[in-house]
Amino acid sequence: MSIKSWGVSNEWSLFLDRDGVINQRIFNGYVTRVEDFHFCKGAVESIASLSNIFSQTFVVTNQQGVGKKIMTECNLKEIHTYMCDSVVRLGGRIEKVYFASNLKDELPDNRKPLPVMALMAKSEYPSVDFEKSIMVGDTDSDILFGKNLGMKTIRVLSEEPIEVEADLNVSGLEELLKIIQNEIID
């Protein structure tokens, strides 16, 4: 499927998962400190460029390491400040980072694929239209999150098993940026 057929414009919003999309994912572990947070190749530059194409850019991330008490919410906010500041230094922006710190199946459950984080974004940024949004993630829960809200979905391929097909697969945010530049920006 071609992104060009989606009708993407500067009215669209971009939702990004964090681990495995923005930073290198630690399988069977957690990024608990800024020192453990390593951007995926070209991710920070790509986010900076993408954020100037889309009307809003959000990060939506499940972070049950906080619920497991492996890290604190303060640790998580330090990581997210570092991530956002890195994008800003390159002329981009992330409007807001939404995170679900609860354990799986713990109530209230804000974790993807449930729509809670997207609904929070819509509440704070009323111009968000899920039918004019793209969700980029590396797991089935990311893709289901986007599909359940009527978003277009893009999967960053990894060693994560696939049971739910995305609208498009890419190797990373660098490839996504190139596709958008080639298909949408004239």
Backbone φ and ψ of 175, nearest 5°: -65, -40
Of 173, 142, 146, 139, which Cα lies nearest the Cα of 40? 173
Active site residue 36: no
- The single residue of 19, 138, 140, 142 carrying the catalytic annotation is 19
Active site residue 19: yes
Query: Across-strand partners of 61?
Result: 99
Collapsing DSSP states into helix, strand and coil, what is residue 74?
helix
**Integer CA distances (angstroms), 171 to 15, 31, 85, in order:** 17, 21, 24
- The single residue of 17, 138, 140, 142 carrying the catalytic annotation is 17
Q: Which residues contact 41 (CB under 8 A, 6 or more apart)?
A: 172, 174
Report d(CA 165, CA 119) in Å as an integer.
23
Among all residues, which ones are annotated catalytic? 17, 19
